[in-house]
Structure formats: C-alpha cells, structure tokens
Structure 1
Amino acid sequence: MSSSSGNSSGTTGTTQLQNWSSEEELQQMMMAERKRKRMQSNRESARRSRMRKQKQLDDLTAQVAQLREENSKIASTTYVATQHFLSVEAQNSILRTQMAELRQRLESLDDILKYINSFNGGFMESWSY
C-alpha cells in the first residue's frame, strides 16, 4: 500500500509541478505581452515626441525666416529714412547759410538807407518853404 500511496502522491506532485510550470509559463507569457505592449507604447510615444519636436523646429525655422524678412524691410526703411534725413539736414544747412547771408545784406541795406536818410533829411530841410 505504501507503494501505491507513494505513486499516487508522486503523480499528484507531478501534476502540481506541471500546473505550477504552466502557471509560471502563463505568467511569463503575460509579462512578455505586457513588456511588448509597453515597448510598443514607448515607441509610439517617442515617435509622437519626435514629430512634436520636428513641428516645433519647422515652426521656429519659419518664424526665423519671417523675422529675417521683417528685419530686412525695417533695415531698408531705416536706410531710406536716414538718407532722407541727411539730405534734409544738408538742405537745412544751406538754407541757414543763405539766411545768414541775406540777414547781412539786409543789415547792409538798412545801414545804407540810414546813411542816405541822414543826408536826405538835411537836404529836405533846405528845400522846405
């Protein structure tokens, strides 16, 4: 009897070992599946991250191009305004010089008129009746 009970317990032990082995394999398969899903999810997340970075880079590149164009237009406008300012400043300098010359002529003419009037005043007095 002892041999039959030994055989039956040996058979149960083998079945339990097989069950345990099957459960372990099932757990390993489930872990492998979770790992595969996690890796796939990570790959997808990395792909989305690369796409976001590429879009940001593209947006920044477009913004740089736009700002360079705007900067060029502003620089051109500034250059034209500066040239106009220098031209107006030169004309203003010429006009100031002409004004100073005309002022001197006017003063000279006023002096001449005063001189003439000083003689005419005496001459006119002798003509009065």
Structure 2
Amino acid sequence: MASSSGNSSGSQLLQNSGSEGDLQHVMDQRKRKRMQSNRESARRSRMRKQQHLDELTAQVTQLRKENGQILTSINITTQHYTNVEAENSVLRAQMAELSQRLESLTEILNYINGNNNNGVFETEPGQLLQTGSTAADHNSFMNPWNNSLYSNQPIMAAADMLQY
C-alpha cells in the first residue's frame, strides 16, 4: 500500500506538475492578455490626451485670433473717438469764436440803436433806415464815402471791432 500510495501520490505529482504547467501557461496567457490590454488602454489614453491637447491648441489659436480682432476693433474705435474729439474741439472753438462775434455785433447794433434812436430803426438785420429819408438818403447813409457830409469826418472804431 505504501507503494500504491507512493504511486498514486507520484501520479498526482505528475498530474500536478502537468496541471502546474498548464496553470503556468494559463497564467502567462492571462498576464500577456493583461499586458496587451494595459498597452491598448495606455495607447487609448495617450490618444485621448493628444486629442485633448490638439483641441486646446486649436482653442488657443482661435482665442488669439479673436483677441487680435478685438484689439483691432478697439484700436479703430479709439482712433474714431480721437478723431471725433478733435473735431468736437475744433467745433467748440469755432462756436466760441462765432459767439464772440455775435456778441460784438449785438453790442455794435445796441450802440448804434441806442445812440441813433432819433429816427433810425432797423429794417432788416444789419440794415438801418432813417425815418423820412428818401432812397438817395438811404444809399448815402449806407455808403458814407458818397456823402460829402461824412468825407471830412474821422472814422471811429471800437477796439473789439478790429479783432475780426
């Protein structure tokens, strides 16, 4: 019996060593499959990372392009603003000058109307007419060089009249 148990244990050893070989073979196959699966998973992960990097690079390019367009738009708008400000400044200066001229002319008219209130009145803006005068008198009044009465008279001007 000892021999049979030795034989049976020997046959089990043969079976176990055969099974161990098969088991080792199966484990090696599983290890190879796992390694292959890991390699494939790593490859997919690298591809996803590369795709994400490509998308981010494209987004950076697009954002830089949009940023350049916005900066160009800002520069154009700033230039237009500067031009409008310069034009407004010129117009304000012209308005101030014209306001001063109008004020001076108004003062002149007030002076003329105030001193010559005896029979002189304004028919149209800037045209004065003396009551009871004829057309010849009117022409001589408006053009003093034709009137001999004014030929020897000095011409008086106010200082602010000479500014313009």
| TM-score normalised by L of structure 1 | 0.87
1:28-47 mapped onto 2 (5 Å cutoff): 28-47=24-43
Bigger proportion of residues as helix: 1
Q: How far off its partner does 1:47 sit?
A: 0.3
Bigger proportion of residues as strand: 2
User: Which of 114, 117, 121 does residue 117 from structure 2 map onto?
Assistant: 121
User: Which of 55, 72, 79 does residue 83 from structure 1 map onto?
Assistant: 79
Q: Secondary structure at the match of 2:36?
A: helix
1:101 equivalent to 2:97? Answer yes
* Whole-angstrom CA distance in 2 between matches of 1:9 and 1:89: 113
* Whole-angstrom CA distance in 2 between matches of 1:19 and 1:9: 15
Relative contact order, higher structure (CA 8 A, sep 6+): 2
* Whole-angstrom CA distance in 2 between matches of 1:91 and 1:12: 114
Residue identity matched to 1:11: N
1:16-55 mapped onto 2 (5 Å cutoff): 16-55=12-51
Q: How far off its partner does 1:123 sit?
A: 4.0
Structure 1 counterpart of 2:63: 67
Q: How far off its partner does 1:105 sit?
A: 0.7
1:3-14 mapped onto 2 (5 Å cutoff): 5-14=1-10
Q: How far off its partner does 1:66 sit?
A: 1.1
Residue identity matched to 1:15: S
**Between Structure 1 and Structure 2, how many residues are aligned?**
124
Coordinate RMSD, CA, aligned: 1.9
Please, which runs of 5 or more residues in structure 2 have no aligned partner? Answer: 121-130, 133-164
| TM-score normalised by L of structure 2 | 0.69
Q: Percent identity?
A: 57
Please, which runs of 5 or more residues in structure 1 have no aligned partner? Answer: none
| Runs of 4+, deviation exceeding 2 Å | 5-10
Q: Secondary structure at the match of 1:92?
A: helix
Could you give the per-residue CA deviations for residues 94-127 of structure 1, whole angstroms, max 9, x where no partner exists?
A: 1101101110110110111111111221244xx6
